[in-house]
């Protein structure tokens, strides 16, 4: 049952061994029409075949004249020129006949009757003439070899008489999804089914990198079937990507198939995620076995497949731009691997802060939300919070700088505000991370966030938020802005089959509860009530099962994994659950005073005060927005 | 004959008026399969329809067990579990049946006979279980509205049960080239013909910006024909681009056609190049009359058409990144226009220097060679050399930083060296600007270049280069590296019909000469010889006609515009001319000593010493490379 990775090559070493094994990939080229060559890569330097302009032409509207006939012209001695003999009329761009050698512009001409002009200054040879080859001279270099052709290059090439260019072929890339449990999107899902989306992501990546993707049907875990699929894809393509899955059995199939049909050069590279990658060669064509977990797959695609696909086209991967950022959380890493950590970047108080996102290999959303990647070298055991690190950018700096960072308590309305903010002003984005109310205040303390949504109940006074601001952020000038008052309650299955109405009901033998994580306001609300009622948490089945937001709790109830959870009304209705109200609570926004006057905060406050936002709250239900946007506490 | 621009609106104002006139462009949307949506832009925020995973699954290979049965397990009290009853075997990703609530990983299991395992530590509920919705929870926001879909988004959307997304339609963009003198590429060229390449550049640009280009046949300058073409394109597309040409007559046709069929909203915007642009609306669809000069066309496309095409897709143009650079030459500008100056950027001595490229509107190559654009505001008359300016980047910083800058004397072999350098090491580029030998030395003085090719003949001693280094760069430690010795001579038509063999022959009545610009080594060579022979330059017909490089001189002779020019052997043979040798001269490279140890200079010197380079020199002929790459002078 145990999986063995055959090797743990360092990434660059693995690529060197692999690329050497494959040999020269750049051989295949083709000739295409210049106007179809946008984005293609030149094989050799391209030199102009003709000059542009290919004749001497007028740079002005006016007359083409003989300069020798103008020598005597002056203010006091106008010279009369006669059409046909001394000049012809030319527009800009018109050719200059051999007998003329200058152009006098229309503004310097005085009409002197039919077919005649007077001039009052002499002209020098070649004035206002665009000489042959002014722009491009025959034999001049237009674009160098291994140059990615841009629209402006197409123009210059055609102008230089080049109607065809030799370019590297776009590699055909076959993509084989495998796995008995893998199903097509849209299939009615059974427990255990996994929707194939990796192959669709790969296809889009391959296109972005200039390859021509060809996706094959899903192949079940059957040695012979996988073998046949690989043979076919290997014949039909330049490169094969096989999504080898993560179960032990399937990986064995893939590696054995590659070994049988060709050569499994490398199995296992010292990167995380992505370590079980397979690099093989069949009939001199590369085949990559890509791990099944989406994040592992992503890094194998980015770090290995991308380089291969670009190499086919004579290109190197551009180095991603790096920025310096302060790491907000300690990041442990294994000495065995080069580790790629997805981070969310915030531009807070004039510098970047990087917050690591979920590190699980299956965290598709961490790829969607990542602004950058922090690489932790193989020989480094971890990086402490507060360290300045280099982050490779996946998002552009302008967007990051225009992103409002919200770290703290979760409510579905933060997503709604995010969307409305961006639609109100396309420049701005909102990024929210759910770490619970306490985590949000700590993030304010360390300068990681612009705002912290919070709903912390003071166990002693029964009041919300203010005492915690004073306790956790004693030296800071923090404003408290009213977001909403909202209803918390029990989320239960439709019809409330277990008849849960009170906190006491959670201790019933047949009731399974699902809790929120420590530090969240909702957890505090539960503990406050249990404490008040003298209920021992240990008597609640599921008290120790923690979810990180309202929707996840609701989803667990909806799926029947739990009978009840505590959360907001909107999450219950979104999931089609019943809701038993417990109390009203104050969901507010803690914002450092120094940010209150920034454009983005002002726009955000206008957003939550907008009718559009309030209409959405009405739709969701359970929110009181009568005071939304008001500053309810300010120190100064 | 005189052209009148109807207006001179400031760019932003013109766009506001125009976009207001057109109204809401974002209306057209369509629904596409998620896997076909790469690069498309969402209309609304997209929320997950299902959770992913949609069931609780194992995060490890091992067994799914009941945690309550493990409570007593310890090192001293192994507990035996029985398959089926206490556990089932699971691989990573397998679903966890409802009756089990934890996973014990294979590494912690001791085999205890068939269908039995011993365990030596207790398990807590939910350990090693990937709960339902861990990655994506139903109703969670996946991507916001107006978001450009990336490969990773496609994965997350499919994982969240979204198989179709509503996206903005890609606008169809009709492109009409006009002009009686305009011909298709590949046509046998007559004097006065202009090859249509603008429409091909436009097509590629439109594709890059997400539009669907449709190019129409060239329309001659005929009012009715242009009108019919516009009607057709307007019906078949969302946007029409008509390349209105630069001759006065044609522009009138276009503006009249737009006015007749619809509304010519703006004719003339205060940008240079690009001022005669027309912005019109026909049947509520935009039509843009784009000036004929390639550089004018480029800026109208970039500044106006691009924004329009992106707007159709709910996008805004990204601000180009700016860098600070020192301007190397004074740049005058008109108070009437916002001016776009193409610049070449160099990274010399740790900072950027920006050198303006040819400013002519027809300079196609200036677009190919530009690394950035300097915008000179409408109310600024010019910028002095040495000023620090903001330059919008067209090239990436990494490439610019890896570009060796060569400013100085021209020889076709510099293009060859550039190509070989890049092929030897793809990281490196060479950018050469031909300003003549003297200009190159001045560029070294002001720190604009890494190397300066030079062949300056000392009129007094008859020696090359060294005395000029001492004269122009007295305080600097400059090395002189031997490039080649080359033959200069008269380039004449095949068969030498005018029988030109000596400098005296240039003064013949029927001989037209074409000269090089002042400051170039070749000009100095001519002047040195004329002076020595007592020939008055005024007696040479064409002495004052200046071209900026050897190829341009050769092209003028080839075209019959001139009978002779002075230049290098290779330029003559490239153009199929005869060559009358005059002398050998030393073409060397002046390089500041501080750069001699940099990787890029070392690679460049290896390049010119390479057999590949020498083989090319042999092919061209007229070069002596016996000493190439040797340091022939070093101060220290």
Separation in Å, CA of A475 to nearest CA in chain B: 36
> Do residues A158 and A177 share a domain?
no
**Could you give the CA distance from residue A76 to residue B181 in angstroms, rounded to a whole number?**
40
pLDDT tens track for A34-56: 999 999 999 999 999 999 989 99
Q: Is the pLDDT of residue A247 over 90?
A: no
Domain carrying residue B530? 432-633
B548: nearest CA partner in chain A: A134
User: Which residues neighbour B61 within 8 Å (Cβ) at sequence distance 6 or greater?
Assistant: A1, A2, A3, A248, B90, B91, B92, B105, B106
Query: Is the minimum CB–CB distance between A188 and chain B shorter than 8 Å?
Result: no
The answer to whether position B292 is within a domain reads yes
Q: Is the pLDDT of residue A305 over 50?
A: yes
pLDDT tens track for B542-591: 998 888 889 999 999 999 989 999 999 999 999 999 999 999 999 999 99
> Do residues A70 and A156 share a domain?
no
- What domain count does chain B have? 5
CB atoms < 10 A from the CB of A121, how many? 12
The pLDDT value given to residue B573: 93
Q: Please give the sequence-ordered ranges of beta strands (E in DSSP) within A29-125, or none if there are none.
A: 29-33, 46-47, 57-58, 62-65, 79-82, 87-90, 102-105, 110-111, 116-119
Query: Is the minimum CB–CB distance between B537 and chain A shorter than 8 Å?
Result: no
Residue A49: closest CA among B558, B411, B548: B558
Q: Is the pLDDT of residue A3 over 50?
A: no
**Could you give the CA distance from residue A364 to residue A354 in angstroms, rounded to a whole number?**
19
> Do residues B257 and B361 share a domain?
no
The one-character DSSP state at A302 is I
The one-character DSSP state at B275 is T
Q: Is the pLDDT of residue B32 over 80?
A: yes
The one-character DSSP state at A447 is T
Contacts of A138 in chain B (CB under 8 A): 551, 555, 558, 574-575
Query: Is the minimum CB–CB distance between A616 and chain B shorter than 8 Å?
Result: no
The answer to whether position A157 is within a domain reads yes
Separation in Å, CA of A371 to nearest CA in chain B: 12
Q: Which of A126, A152, A184, A311 to mutate to test the interface with B (most CBs of B within 10 A)?
A: A152
Q: Which of B97, B204, B538 to mutate to test the interface with A (most CBs of A within 10 A)?
A: B204
Query: Is the minimum CB–CB distance between A38 and chain B shorter than 8 Å?
Result: yes
**Could you give the CA distance from residue A99 to residue A87 in angstroms, rounded to a whole number?**
9
CB-CB under 8 Å, A555 with B200: no
HSE (side-chain half, CA atoms, 13 Å) at A445: 14
Query: Is the minimum CB–CB distance between A7 and chain B shorter than 8 Å?
Result: no
CB-CB under 8 Å, A412 with B139: yes
Share of chain B above pLDDT 70, in %: 97
Give the CA-trace dihedral at A57, A60, A66, A71, to 10 degrees.
-140
pTM (global) more than 0.90: no
Structural element, H or E, at residue A501: none
Task: Point out the least confidently predicted range of A200-204, B303-307, B411-415.
Answer: B411-415
**Could you give the CA distance from residue B514 to residue B507 in angstroms, rounded to a whole number?**
12
> Do residues B185 and B299 share a domain?
yes
CB-CB under 8 Å, A51 with B555: yes
**Could you give the CA distance from residue B146 to residue B165 in angstroms, rounded to a whole number?**
12
B40: nearest CA partner in chain A: A204
Q: Is the pLDDT of residue B162 over 70?
A: yes
Query: Is the minimum CB–CB distance between A95 and chain B shorter than 8 Å?
Result: yes
Contacts of B137 in chain A (CB under 8 A): 549, 551-552, 555
> Do residues A618 and A539 share a domain?
yes
Query: Is the minimum CB–CB distance between A537 and chain B shorter than 8 Å?
Result: no
Task: Point out the least confidently predicted range of A97-101, A243-247, A334-338, A595-599.
Answer: A243-247
**Could you give the CA distance from residue A573 to residue B346 in angstroms, rounded to a whole number?**
60
Query: Is the minimum CB–CB distance between A561 and chain B shorter than 8 Å?
Result: yes
Query: Is the minimum CB–CB distance between B544 and chain A shorter than 8 Å?
Result: yes
Query: Is the minimum CB–CB distance between A509 and chain B shorter than 8 Å?
Result: no
The answer to whether position A135 is within a domain reads no
Alpha helices in A292-411 (DSSP H): 294-300, 306-312, 364-369, 397-401
A432: nearest CA partner in chain B: B141
The answer to whether position B280 is within a domain reads yes
Pick the last residue of a domain from B312, B335, B353. B312
B314: nearest CA partner in chain A: A426
Of A181, A196, A551, the CB nearest to B140: A551
Task: Provide the pairing of β-strand B513-516 with A182-183.
Answer: unpaired
CB atoms < 10 A from the CB of A626, how many? 9
Of A201, A412, A542, the CB nearest to B151: A201
The one-character DSSP state at A41 is B
Average pLDDT over chain B reads 91
Residue B112 maps to which CATH number? 2.170.190.11
The structure tokens listed for B444 are 């070294």
CB-CB under 8 Å, B91 with A429: no
Q: Which of A53, A67, A139 to mutate to test the interface with B (most CBs of B within 10 A)?
A: A139
Task: Phi first, then psi: give them for residue B512, nearest 5 degrees.
Answer: -100, 125
CB-CB under 8 Å, A247 with B91: yes
Of A45, A50, A368, the CB nearest to B142: A368
**Could you give the CA distance from residue B137 to residue A412 in angstroms, rounded to a whole number?**
12
> Do residues B443 and B570 share a domain?
yes
Share of chain B above pLDDT 90, in %: 72
Q: Which of A155, A185, A217 to mutate to test the interface with B (most CBs of B within 10 A)?
A: A155
Contacts of A563 in chain B (CB under 8 A): none
Q: Between B223-236 and B248-261, two packed helices, what is the crossing angle to 10 degrees?
A: 50
Q: Is residue B472 classed as helix, strand or coil in its secondary structure?
A: helix
Do A570 and A410 meet the contact criterion of CB atoms below 8 Å apart? no
Q: Is the pLDDT of residue B620 over 60?
A: yes
CA angle, residues B510, B516, B520, in degrees to nearest 5: 150
The structure tokens listed for B123 are 């398990």
Query: Is the minimum CB–CB distance between A34 and chain B shorter than 8 Å?
Result: yes
> Do residues A195 and A308 share a domain?
yes
> Do residues A42 and A20 share a domain?
no
**Could you give the CA distance from residue B430 to residue B585 in angstroms, rounded to a whole number?**
24
Mark which residues 440-499 of B lie under 8 Å from A by CB.
none
> Do residues A65 and A175 share a domain?
no
Separation in Å, CA of A18 to nearest CA in chain B: 20
Of B55, B364, B422, the CB nearest to A192: B55
Do B567 and B554 meet the contact criterion of CB atoms below 8 Å apart? yes
HSE (side-chain half, CA atoms, 13 Å) at B486: 31
Which of left, alpha, beta for B114 (phi over 0: left; psi -120 to 50: alpha)?
beta
Residue A365 maps to which CATH number? 2.40.340.10
> Do residues B594 and B508 share a domain?
yes
Average pLDDT over chain A reads 91
The pLDDT value given to residue B230: 97
Q: How far is CA B136 from CA A360, A492, A555, B54, B82, in A?
A: 13, 21, 10, 9, 34
Residue A504: closest CA among A481, A525, A479, A526: A526
Query: Is the minimum CB–CB distance between B146 and chain A shorter than 8 Å?
Result: yes
pLDDT tens track for A449-508: 999 999 998 888 888 999 999 999 998 899 999 999 999 999 999 999 999 999 999 999
**Residue appearing with tokens 């601000």:** B319
The pLDDT value given to residue A93: 81
Do A143 and A149 meet the contact criterion of CB atoms below 8 Å apart? yes
Q: Is the pLDDT of residue B446 over 50?
A: yes
Q: Is the pLDDT of residue B2 over 70?
A: no
What value does the mean pLDDT take over residues A318-324?
87
Q: How far is CA B224 from CA B228, B229, B231, B232, B262, in A?
A: 6, 9, 11, 12, 15
> What is the sign, positive or negative, of the torsion defined by CA atoms of A432, A435, A440, A444?
negative
B386-406 residues labelled b (16+ CB within 10 A) or e (exposed): eeebebbbbbebeebebbbbb
CB-CB under 8 Å, B367 with A248: no
Predicted ipTM beyond 0.95:
no
Q: Is the pLDDT of residue B360 over 70?
A: no
CB-CB under 8 Å, B185 with A555: no
pLDDT tens track for B36-62: 999 999 999 999 999 998 999 898 889
CB-CB under 8 Å, B126 with A38: no
Pick the last residue of a domain from A117, A151, A168. A168
Do B319 and B350 meet the contact criterion of CB atoms below 8 Å apart? no
Separation in Å, CA of B470 to nearest CA in chain A: 33
Of A91, A398, A558, the CB nearest to B247: A91
The structure tokens listed for A541 are 């089945």
Residue A146: closest CA among B469, B352, B424: B424
Of B44, B156, B575, the CB nearest to A364: B156
> Do residues B117 and B162 share a domain?
no
**Residue appearing with tokens 């199995």:** A267
The structure tokens listed for A535 are 């209920």
Separation in Å, CA of A618 to nearest CA in chain B: 17
> Do residues A198 and A177 share a domain?
yes
The answer to whether position A579 is within a domain reads yes
The pLDDT value given to residue A1: 36
CB-CB under 8 Å, A155 with B185: no
For chain B, count helices (H), then strands (E).
17, 38
The pLDDT value given to residue B89: 93
The answer to whether position A402 is within a domain reads no
Residue A605 maps to which CATH number? 3.40.190.290
More confident residue, B245 or A305: A305
pLDDT tens track for A79-136: 999 999 999 999 888 899 988 989 999 989 999 989 999 999 999 888 999 888 888 9
Residue B181: closest CA among B170, B197, B166, B192: B192
The structure tokens listed for A309 are 């696909």
Which of left, alpha, beta for B133 (phi over 0: left; psi -120 to 50: alpha)?
left
B15-37 residues labelled b (16+ CB within 10 A) or e (exposed): beebbeebeebeeebeebebbbb
Pick the last residue of a domain from A255, A287, A312. A312
Structural element, H or E, at residue A421: helix A412-424
Separation in Å, CA of B625 to nearest CA in chain A: 22
The pLDDT value given to residue A359: 62
Contacts of B517 in chain A (CB under 8 A): none
Share of chain A above pLDDT 90, in %: 73
Contacts of B192 in chain A (CB under 8 A): 55, 94-95
Task: Provide the pairing of β-strand A338-348 with A271-272.
Answer: parallel
A225-238 residues labelled b (16+ CB within 10 A) or e (exposed): ebbebbeebbeebb
The answer to whether position B91 is within a domain reads yes
B188: nearest CA partner in chain A: A161
Mark which residues 59-88 of B lie under 8 Å from A by CB.
61
Do A327 and A317 meet the contact criterion of CB atoms below 8 Å apart? no
> What's the Rg (C-alpha) of chain B?
35
What value does the mean pLDDT take over residues B418-444?
90
Asked if the bond preceding A273 is cis, omega within 30° of 0, the reply is: yes
The answer to whether position A4 is within a domain reads no
User: Which residues neighbour B473 within 8 Å (Cβ) at sequence distance 6 or greater?
Assistant: B441, B444, B445, B590
User: Which residues neighbour A535 within 8 Å (Cβ) at sequence distance 6 or greater?
Assistant: A503, A504, A506, A507
């Amino acid at each position: 049952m145990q999986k063995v990775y055959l090797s743990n090559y360092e990434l660059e070493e693995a690529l060197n061994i692999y690329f050497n094994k494959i040999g020269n990939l750049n051989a295949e080229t083709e000739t295409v029409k210049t106007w179809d060559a946008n984005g293609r890569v030149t094989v050799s330097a391209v030199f102009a075949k003709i000059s542009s302009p290919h004749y001497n032409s007028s740079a002005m509207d006016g007359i083409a004249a003989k300069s020798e006939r103008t020598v005597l012209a002056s203010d006091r001695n106008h010279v009369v020129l006669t059409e046909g003999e001394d000049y012809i009329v030319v527009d800009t761009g018109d050719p200059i006949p051999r007998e003329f050698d200058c152009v006098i512009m229309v503004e310097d001409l005085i009409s002197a009757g039919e077919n005649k002009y007077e001039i009052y200054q002499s002209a020098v040879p070649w004035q206002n003439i665009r000489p042959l080859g002014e722009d491009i001279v025959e034999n001049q270099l237009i674009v160098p070899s291994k140059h990615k052709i841009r629209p402006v290059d197409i123009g210059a090439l055609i102008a230089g008489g080049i109607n065809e260019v030799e370019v590297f072929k776009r590699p055909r890339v076959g993509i084989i999804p495998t796995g008995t449990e893998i199903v097509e999107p849209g299939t009615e899902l059974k427990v255990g089914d996994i929707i194939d989306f990796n192959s669709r992501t790969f296809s889009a990546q391959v296109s972005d990198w200039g390859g021509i993707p060809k996706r094959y049907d899903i192949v079940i875990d059957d040695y012979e079937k996988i073998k046949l699929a690989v043979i076919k894809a290997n014949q039909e393509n330049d490169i094969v990507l096989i999504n080898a899955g993560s179960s032990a059995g399937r990986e064995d199939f893939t590696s054995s198939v590659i070994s049988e049909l060709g050569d499994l050069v490398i199995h296992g590279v010292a990167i995380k995620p992505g370590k079980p990658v397979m690099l093989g060669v069949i009939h001199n064509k590369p085949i990559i076995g890509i791990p099944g977990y989406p994040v592992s797959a992503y890094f194998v695609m980015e770090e290995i497949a991308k380089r291969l696909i670009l190499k086919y086209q004579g290109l190197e991967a551009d180095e991603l731009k790096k920025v310096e950022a302060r790491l907000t959380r300690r990041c442990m890493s294994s000495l065995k691997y080069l580790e790629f950590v997805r981070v969310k970047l915030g531009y807070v108080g004039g510098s970047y802060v990087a917050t690591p996102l979920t590190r699980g290999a299956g965290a598709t959303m961490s790829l969607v939300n990542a602004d950058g990647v922090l690489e932790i070298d193989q020989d480094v055991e971890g990086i402490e919070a507060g360290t300045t690190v280099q982050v490779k950018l996946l998002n552009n700096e302008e967007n990051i700088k225009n992103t409002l960072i919200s770290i703290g308590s979760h409510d579905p309305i933060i997503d709604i505000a995010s969307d409305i903010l961006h639609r109100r002003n396309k420049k701005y984005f909102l990024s929210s991370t759910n770490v619970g109310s306490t985590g949000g205040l700590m993030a304010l303390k360390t300068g990681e966030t612009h705002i912290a949504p919070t709903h912390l109940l003071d166990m002693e006074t029964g009041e919300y938020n203010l005492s915690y601001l004073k306790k956790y952020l004693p030296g800071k000038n923090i404003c408290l802005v009213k977001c909403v008052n909202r209803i918390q309650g029990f989320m239960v299955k439709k019809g409330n089959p277990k008849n849960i109405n009170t906190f006491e009901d959670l201790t019933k033998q047949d009731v399974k509860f699902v809790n929120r994580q420590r530090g969240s306001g909702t957890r505090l609300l539960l503990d406050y009530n249990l404490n008040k009622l003298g209920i021992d948490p240990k008597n609640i089945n599921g008290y120790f099962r923690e979810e990180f937001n309202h929707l996840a709790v609701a989803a667990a109830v909806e799926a029947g994994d739990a009978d009840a959870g505590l959360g907001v009304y909107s999450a219950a209705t979104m999931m089609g659950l019943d809701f038993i109200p417990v109390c009203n609570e104050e969901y507010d926004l803690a914002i450092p005073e120094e940010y209150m006057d920034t454009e983005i905060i002002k726009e955000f406050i206008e957003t939550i005060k907008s009718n559009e936002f309030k209409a959405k709250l009405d739709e969701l239900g359970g929110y009181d927005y009568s005071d939304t946007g008001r500053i309810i506490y300010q120190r100064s």
